[in-house]
């Protein structure tokens, strides 16, 4: 174990020193100031969990031999006990260990619990959304942080090398005209709608800024890794069934959210309704699919279909040639708002947000006809820079984080 530790120290120092990404996502400040002994980051592949861990490592005021970064998918760690490794590290004065891809470690839940119970050491770990990190029995033990896709605000900051303010949903609902005007002034000659159109196609994943030429292929590779490595291995799904999952994603990509009933979708992908519901749940956990239920289902059993979207708008661009613009707009709204708010769909309007606000999504000419008599109802309109009264620019909901 001592020789292994030396090898891991060498790799760790190289990895931390090679971390050159200057842009810090919104979770960095929260986690850097946390006093928690154990903290976990979960999120889809490609959203920047490893970068965040390494940035946190460089922010800690620790000597190089007091800090260790490991990635559990490295061959050196195959079959190695995380507890025994952390125990050995602690013996040599280790104070903080950063564990990436923790779900790749053998019995990682029990290993982390043993470290927590028996060792005086700070631990930060990261893992895929599709795994048990999101289970309540596991998550309630530690400080857990969700890292979502890039918001439109973060995409603008990376594109334009600037810093912009985020706003609460209540801020945007109440003061959207003033907020939009402030942002437009800060952007100067940069056209927000031009950047928003680009964001809808390529804005979800920060690795776009590292390799723009191969971005679409990298997104497809990320999808395949989630399907085969995360879902396939963790849930023992065969290659044949993975093909069904891929077909399910493609079917949702080319359809309107309520166009396909579960029965129709099950027939289309060639599986039973029971199996389809299981697949929908797994793809939702993996952040490839977004499952939005009808508002009334909270209170009673209703035979209402569920709305199914791809989890973010970049996935549409990668999985189908001509996605429907209405679906893209709704998917954008859902992906941004659901990070901090509850989301249901309703009979009148498209979404009920935080059980309070009814929101209809559309283009610049969308009317209030469908929601005119509903209290706290709003239009989130694409193709406008500024809104008026209860019509709010759709892009502005990308400034929630």
Q: Which pLDDT score is estimated for 232?
A: 87
Residue 188 Cα to chain centre, angstroms: 30
| Phi and psi angles of residue 41, each rounded to the nearest 5 degrees, phi first | -115, 125
CA angle in degrees (0–180, nearest 5) for 278-41-294: 40
Please state whether beta strands 122-128 and 38-43 pair in parallel, antiparallel, or not at all (unpaired): parallel
- Work out the number of other CB atoms within 10 angstroms of the CB of residue 136: 7
Full pLDDT tens readout for the chain, 401 residues: 889 999 999 999 999 999 999 999 999 999 999 999 999 999 999 999 999 999 999 999 899 999 999 999 999 999 999 999 999 999 999 999 999 999 999 899 999 999 999 999 999 999 988 777 877 878 888 999 999 999 999 999 999 999 999 999 999 999 999 999 999 999 999 999 999 999 999 999 999 999 999 999 999 999 999 999 888 887 888 888 999 999 999 999 998 887 777 888 888 888 898 999 999 999 999 999 999 999 877 666 556 778 999 999 999 999 998 899 999 999 999 999 999 999 999 999 999 999 999 999 999 999 999 999 999 999 999 999 999 999 999 999 999 99
pLDDT tens digits, 185-217: 999 999 999 999 999 999 999 999 999 999 999
Q: Return the SS3 of 386.
A: coil
- Work out the number of other CB atoms within 10 angstroms of the CB of residue 357: 19
- Work out the number of other CB atoms within 10 angstroms of the CB of residue 266: 19
Please state whether beta strands 67-71 and 307-310 pair in parallel, antiparallel, or not at all (unpaired): unpaired
Q: Which pLDDT score is estimated for 265?
A: 87
Q: Return the SS3 of 226.
A: helix
pLDDT tens digits, 8-50: 999 999 999 999 999 999 999 999 999 999 999 999 999 999 9
Q: Which pLDDT score is estimated for 30?
A: 94
Residue 134 Cα to chain centre, angstroms: 13
Residue 347 Cα to chain centre, angstroms: 27
Alpha-carbon gap, residue 61 to 68, rounded angstroms: 13
> How close are the terminal C-alpha atoms of the chain, in Å?
42
CB 320 within 8 A of CB 380: no
**β-bridge partners, 359:** 351, 378
Please state whether beta strands 343-344 and 351-353 pair in parallel, antiparallel, or not at all (unpaired): antiparallel
* Segment holding 377, helix H or strand E: strand 377-381
Q: Return the SS3 of 143.
A: strand
Closest CA to 45 of 229, 292, 202: 229
Alpha-carbon gap, residue 369 to 190, rounded angstroms: 34
Instruction: Give pTM, 2 decimals.
Output: 0.93
């Amino acid at each position: 174990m001592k020789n292994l530790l030396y090898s891991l120290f060498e790799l760790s120092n190289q990895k931390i020193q090679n971390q050159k990404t200057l842009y810090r996502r919104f979770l960095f400040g929260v986690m850097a100031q946390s006093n928690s002994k154990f903290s976990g980051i979960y999120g889809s592949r490609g959203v920047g969990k490893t970068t965040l861990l390494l940035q946190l490592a460089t922010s800690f005021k620790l000597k190089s031999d007091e800090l260790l970064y490991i990635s559990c998918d490295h061959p050196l760690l195959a079959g190695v006990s995380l507890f025994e490794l952390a125990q050995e590290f602690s013996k040599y004065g280790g104070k903080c260990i950063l564990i990436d891809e923790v779900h790749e470690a053998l019995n990682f839940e029990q290993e982390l619990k043993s470290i927590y119970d028996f060792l005086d050491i700070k631990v930060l770990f990261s893992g895929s959304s599709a795994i048990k990190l999101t289970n309540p029995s596991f998550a309630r033990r530690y400080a857990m942080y969700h890292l979502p896709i890039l918001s439109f605000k973060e995409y603008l900051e990376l594109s334009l090398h600037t810093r912009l303010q985020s706003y609460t949903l209540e801020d945007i609902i109440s003061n959207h005209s003033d907020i939009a005007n402030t942002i437009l002034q800060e952007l100067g000659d940069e056209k927000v709608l031009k950047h928003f159109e680009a964001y809808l196609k390529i804005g979800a994943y920060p690795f776009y800024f590292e390799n723009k030429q191969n971005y679409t292929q990298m997104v497809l590779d990320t999808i395949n890794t989630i399907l085969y490595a995360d879902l396939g291995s963790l849930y023992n799904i065969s290659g044949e069934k993975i093909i069904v999952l891929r077909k399910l994603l493609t079917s949702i990509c080319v359809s309107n959210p309520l166009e396909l009933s579960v029965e129709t979708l099950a027939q289309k992908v060639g599986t039973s309704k029971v199996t389809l519901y299981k697949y929908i749940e797994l793809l939702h956990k993996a952040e490839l699919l977004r499952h939005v239920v009808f508002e009334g289902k909270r209170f009673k059993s209703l035979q209402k279909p569920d709305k199914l979207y791809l989890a973010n708008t970049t996935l549409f661009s990668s999985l189908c040639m001509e996605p429907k613009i209405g679906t893209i707009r709704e998917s954008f709204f859902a992906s941004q708002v659901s990070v901090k708010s509850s989301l249901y769909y309703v009979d009148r309007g498209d979404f009920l947000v935080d059980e309070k606000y009814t929101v209809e999504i559309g283009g610049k000419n969308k009317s209030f006809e469908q929601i005119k008599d509903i209290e706290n109802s709003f239009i989130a309109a694409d193709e406008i820079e500024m809104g008026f009264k209860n019509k709010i620019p759709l892009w502005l909901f990308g400034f929630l984080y």
